[in-house]
């Protein structure tokens, strides 16, 4: 048996190597950058942007500058059970809404893919049909059209899934995906869901109705795979120039409304860099609309309010879409059923040496319901979805139960709060404005809660009361109770849509089918802000958009 000392040494060496990889992403000397020209400038190294920059550099040989406002990842990003830690760190932009919601978004190499919950989910064929309908681009958006772009980056280590799903999954891409093994608690939940008729289904959304254990962007060593680690670390491409801690504050346009460069700040100093070909915004669902508006691309009246000269009047920030979710918790009666993801030496040994133990997991099961059809046209497109995972709450492990209304009627708008690029924009929303949303949420809860309160589950979990919300005579489905939970516990999983794609700016679209911003030249948006239909799982979809968008640029469309 290895001694404690040699184990500590081995773990330190592994952590040192990981930190080294994280720290060496930046490869350009800031002292020489002022006024430099690159073929492409990509703003934001997130789920989409890191892929766009990498593919453009790799597949065209062009010079690319990737500018990221955040800095390097660290070993906390690697450890799946430390997801909360990185979410509650300087790596989060922590945007806020007019209803005081905290809206998380990654500010680090890898963007939100470096702080997210690592679920890998692609959504259903009907989801993309709805994209086609809303954007009016039926030739562009379909499951068949997007599938190759999911596959391009995929390295799926679930050999059984790959073998049994020809055409749907593959090995060999840069983003490693694995299936997690449900712990004892999640296994009981899966049994309970099946007792209620929710059969096991695929984890990728191909057939969304039923219960699935989601796959994760976690590698064989149980280390998080962000687009930062997958595409930017150990980068051998000399033409891919990467700079962190660089906040882009403005896109520079010439008189012909051609985007020719960007201004950015690093350590309080202002820099200007220029693009021979194009500028691509991948600053995320809130970052991209903000930067466009700061640069004069947005609703005229709103920009004038802050003294910003208008380059083109388009509805940037409108059509901001999001799912609605409520989090409830259940106490796990027998804590020995689940392992606490605590920082004990043994847990680190298990994690780093044996690639097992509680630090390597962040489990989610997904359960969707066909009964709540989104529309008559797409009866299979479920409107309700439930996710469950175990995790620490204080010093006890609880079962988190998240009820999601995938496509609520309510939508929002992103607005600037000042003309100062260093201030945060605000997300204007109204979560409880549509009674039909609350009615639908009640329906989802009615379908889902029995799985958790069944006689099968009573042995294992007990519902936790929500402070100051009282079920009506023990009835958890009454309107007042749900409204109260909504007020106290509603989250907005994964915002999208402030630069919606479409055929014309007259219909509220900001970018065309080739991701080009209407009304200007040389500027595209390639990230989750172009998405017209919300999903509570934006990571795989944003990576797909990164691949799709990069290919569109490469093909010179
Ligand atoms: C806490 C959390 C948990 C999540 N869990 C999941 C999950 O389990 N599964 C899932 O599918 N999805 C999940 N998501 C959502 C998913 O990660 C996002 O939808 C996806 O990453 C969005 O990709 P993006 O490229 O549009 O933006 P991002 O990945 O957010 O990247 C945008 C990048 O642009 C940078 N940037 C912004 N403004 C500027 C600027 N002015 N100058 C320079 N750089 C800038 C940002 O710092 C960031 O790095 C989660 C998100 C969060 C925040």
What domains sit in the chain, N to C, each tagged with a CATH number? 181-217+324-407+432-491 (3.30.560.10)
Residue 425 Cα to ligand 1 midpoint, Å, equals 16
Which residue among 117, 284, 285, 321 has the greatest number of ligand 1 atoms within 8 angstroms of its CB, and so is best to mutate?
284
**Cross-strand pairs, 402:** 327, 387
Residue nearest to atom 41 of ligand 1 (CA): 248
**Cross-strand pairs, 490:** 326
Nearest ligand 1 atom to the CA of 264 is 42
Residue 550 Cα to ligand 1 midpoint, Å, equals 18
Residue 258 Cα to ligand 1 midpoint, Å, equals 27
Nearest CA to 68 out of 241, 203, 299 is that of: 241
Question: Quick one: pLDDT at residue 371?
Answer: 62
Which residue among 102, 116, 246, 325 has the greatest number of ligand 1 atoms within 8 angstroms of its CB, and so is best to mutate?
116
The ranges of the chain with pLDDT < 70 are: 1-2, 370-382
Residue 285 Cα to ligand 1 midpoint, Å, equals 8
Question: Quick one: pLDDT at residue 285?
Answer: 97
Question: Quick one: pLDDT at residue 242?
Answer: 97
Which residue among 55, 67, 105 has the greatest number of ligand 1 atoms within 8 angstroms of its CB, and so is best to mutate?
105
Question: Quick one: pLDDT at residue 382?
Answer: 67
Which residue among 25, 41, 42, 44 has the greatest number of ligand 1 atoms within 8 angstroms of its CB, and so is best to mutate?
44
**Which residues contact residue 336 at a Cβ distance below 8 angstroms, ignoring those fewer than 6 apart?**
none
Nearest CA to 432 out of 22, 28, 98 is that of: 98
**Cross-strand pairs, 96:** 102, 426
- DSSP code at position 375: -
- DSSP code at position 472: B
Q: Ligand 1: list residues with CB < 6 Å.
A: 43-49, 67-70, 87, 104-107, 111-113, 115-119, 121, 247-248, 282-285, 287, 291, 494, 527-528, 537-540, 542
Question: Quick one: pLDDT at residue 372?
Answer: 58
Under a CB-based contact definition with an 8 Å cutoff, are residues 22 and 72 in contact?
A: yes
């Amino acid at each position: 048996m290895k001694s404690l000392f040699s184990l500590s040494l081995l773990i330190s060496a592994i952590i040192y190597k990981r930190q080294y990889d994280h720290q060496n992403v930046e490869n350009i000397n800031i002292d020489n950058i002022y006024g430099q020209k690159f073929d492409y400038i990509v703003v934001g190294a997130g789920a989409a942007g890191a892929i766009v920059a990498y593919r453009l550099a790799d597949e065209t040989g062009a010079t690319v500058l990737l500018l990221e406002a955040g800095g390097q990842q660290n070993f906390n990003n690697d450890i799946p059970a430390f997801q909360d830690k990185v979410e509650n760190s300087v790596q989060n932009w922590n945007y806020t809404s007019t209803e005081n919601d905290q809206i998380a978004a990654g500010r680090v190499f890898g963007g939100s893919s470096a702080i997210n919950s690592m679920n890998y989910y692609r959504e259903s064929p009907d989801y993309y049909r709805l994209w086609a309908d809303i954007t009016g681009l039926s030739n562009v958006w379909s499951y068949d059209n997007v599938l190759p772009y999911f596959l391009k980056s995929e390295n799926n280590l679930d050999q059984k899934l790959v073998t049994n799903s020809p055409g749907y999954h593959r090995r060999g891409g840069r983003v490693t995906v694995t299936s997690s093994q449900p712990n004892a608690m999640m296994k009981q939940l899966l049994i309970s869901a099946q007792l209620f008729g929710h059969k096991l289904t695929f984890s990728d959304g191909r057939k969304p109705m039923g219960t699935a254990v989601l796959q994760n962007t976690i590698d064989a060593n149980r280390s998080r795979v962000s687009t930062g680690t997958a595409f930017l670390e150990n980068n051998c491409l000399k033409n891919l120039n990467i700079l962190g801690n660089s906040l882009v504050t403005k896109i520079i346009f010439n008189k012909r409304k051609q985007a020719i460069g960007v201004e950015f700040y690093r350590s309080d100093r202002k820099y200007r860099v220029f693009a021979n070909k194009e500028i691509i915004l991948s600053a995320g669902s809130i970052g991209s609309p903000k930067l466009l508006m700061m640069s004069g691309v947005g609703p005229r009246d709103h920009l004038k309010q802050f003294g910003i000269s208008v380059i083109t009047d388009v509805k940037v920030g409108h059509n901001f879409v999001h799912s609605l979710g409520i989090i409830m918790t259940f106490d796990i009666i027998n804590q020995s059923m689940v392992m606490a993801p605590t920082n004990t030496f043994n847990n680190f040994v298990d994690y780093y040496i044996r690639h097992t133990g509680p630090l390597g997991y962040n489990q989610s099961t997904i359960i969707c319901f066909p009964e709540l059809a989104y529309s008559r046209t797409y009866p299979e497109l479920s409107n309700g979805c439930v996710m469950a995972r175990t995790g620490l709450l204080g010093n006890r492990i609880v079962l988190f139960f998240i009820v999601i209304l995938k496509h609520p009627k309510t939508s929002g708008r992103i607005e600037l709060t000042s003309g100062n690029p260093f201030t945060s924009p605000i997300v204007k929303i109204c979560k409880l404005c549509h009674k039909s949303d609350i009615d639908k949420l009640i329906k989802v809860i009615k379908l889902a809660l029995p799985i958790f309160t069944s006689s099968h589950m009573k042995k294992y979990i007990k519902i936790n009361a929500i402070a100051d919300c009282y079920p009506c005579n023990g009835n958890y489905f009454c309107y007042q109770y749900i409204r109260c939970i909504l007020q106290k516990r509603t989250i907005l999983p994964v915002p999208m849509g402030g630069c919606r794609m479409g055929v014309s700016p007259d219909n509220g679209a900001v970018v065309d089918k080739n991701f080009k911003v209407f009304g200007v030249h040389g500027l595209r948006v390639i990230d989750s802000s172009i998405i017209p239909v919300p999903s509570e799982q934006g990571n795989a979809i944003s990576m797909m958009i990164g691949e799709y968008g990069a290919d569109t640029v490469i093909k010179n469309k």
